[in-house]
């Protein structure tokens, strides 16, 4: 994708962010507010207008990241909870018909892992898993340098049952808010100030996250797991607990050959969306 210019689009329930990406850097950007109560066509028209503002003859592809369930092969977005009108949107087809360039659509976690694979901490690995830790938990899988979708839902680790809920509850922000009564940011601030209770909460969080990672490692045996999202910014508070509990795993040799990396890529959602078209343009 070197010297090629691609437009990346990150579709959110609040804003739609656009970037013109060249060599992994955003050289021009735009953002528009998402009117989540609009019709399917109105929101697609907003996306097209944002792309038009950045589009020129040097653009060779467009990548779009969206919430919801996504059939990446067909470019269809299903059931976006924060955009009620989006039930079955043939998004790639609509964009490709308008701009006549290669267009890919995937979920935000897949965008994250592809951004890391092409431009970030995943460059030197062939097999990686990206895990986003924020409001919820997202997962993206790269096998032999290619994004792996399965039928179209691979990487949905969050819905796996765990304790009395699932990993989305225990590894996302609800763990902090609903169990401990504070946001993740508030607990991180307390931990930064040396609060013992806050540090113990992060220790517990690291133990829980290690259970998710053990499952990922057993099933996929990646070379690296790359962590992103707002909770990852507090990694220093749960790193030791996470790694200590991984070392208690019976298959220690497998664990020892899996690196844990923390994303440092700026604007990863937009850059990752652009990275979706890498396979077609490489």
Residues 151-201 have pLDDT tens digits of 878 999 999 999 999 999 999 999 999 999 999 999 999 999 999 999 999
CATH code of 121-262, in short, is: 3.30.420.40
pLDDT classification of 1: cutoffs 50, 70, 90: very low
Tokens encoding 108:
């935000």
Global pTM reads 0.88
Same fold, 5-106+267-281 and 121-262: yes
> Residue 281's Cα: distance from chain center in Å?
22
Mean pLDDT of 125-144: 95
- Top CATH class of 5-106+267-281 equals alpha beta
What is d(CA 70, CA 67) in angstroms, rounded to the nearest whole number? 8
Sorted by where each begins, the domain ranges of the chain are 5-106+267-281, 121-262
Pairwise CA distance, residues 153 & 196, whole Å = 40
pLDDT band at 216; cut points 50, 70, 90: very high
């Amino acid at each position: 994708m070197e010297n090629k210019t691609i437009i990346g689009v990150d579709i959110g329930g609040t804003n739609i962010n656009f970037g013109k990406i060249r060599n992994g850097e955003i050289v021009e950007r735009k953002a528009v507010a998402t009117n989540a109560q609009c019709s399917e066509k109105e929101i697609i028209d907003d996306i097209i207008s944002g792309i038009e503002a950045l589009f020129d003859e040097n653009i060779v592809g467009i990548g779009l990241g969206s919430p919801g369930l996504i059939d990446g092969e067909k470019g269809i977005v299903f059931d976006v909870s924060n955009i009620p009108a989006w039930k079955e949107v043939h998004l790639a087809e609509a964009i490709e018909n308008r701009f006549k360039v290669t267009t890919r659509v995937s979920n935000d976690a897949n965008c994250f892992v592809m951004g890391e694979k092409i431009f970030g901490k995943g460059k030197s690995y062939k097999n990686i898993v990206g895990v986003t830790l924020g409001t919820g938990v997202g997962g993206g899988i790269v096998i032999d340098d290619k994004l792996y979708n399965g039928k179209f839902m691979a990487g949905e680790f969050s819905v796996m049952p765990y304790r009395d809920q699932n990993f989305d509850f225990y590894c996302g922000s609800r763990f902090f808010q609903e169990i401990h009564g504070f946001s993740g940011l508030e607990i991180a601030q307390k931990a930064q100030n040396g609060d013992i209770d806050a540090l113990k909460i992060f220790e517990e969080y690291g133990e829980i996250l290690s259970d998710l990672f053990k499952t990922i490692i057993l099933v996929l045996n990646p070379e690296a797991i790359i962590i992103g999202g707002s909770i990852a910014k507090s990694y220093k508070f749960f790193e030791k607990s996470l790694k200590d509990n991984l070392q208690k795993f019976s298959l220690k040799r497998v664990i020892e050959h899996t690196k844990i990396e923390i994303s440092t890529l700026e604007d990863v959602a937009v850059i990752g969306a652009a990275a979706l078209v890498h396979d077609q343009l490489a």
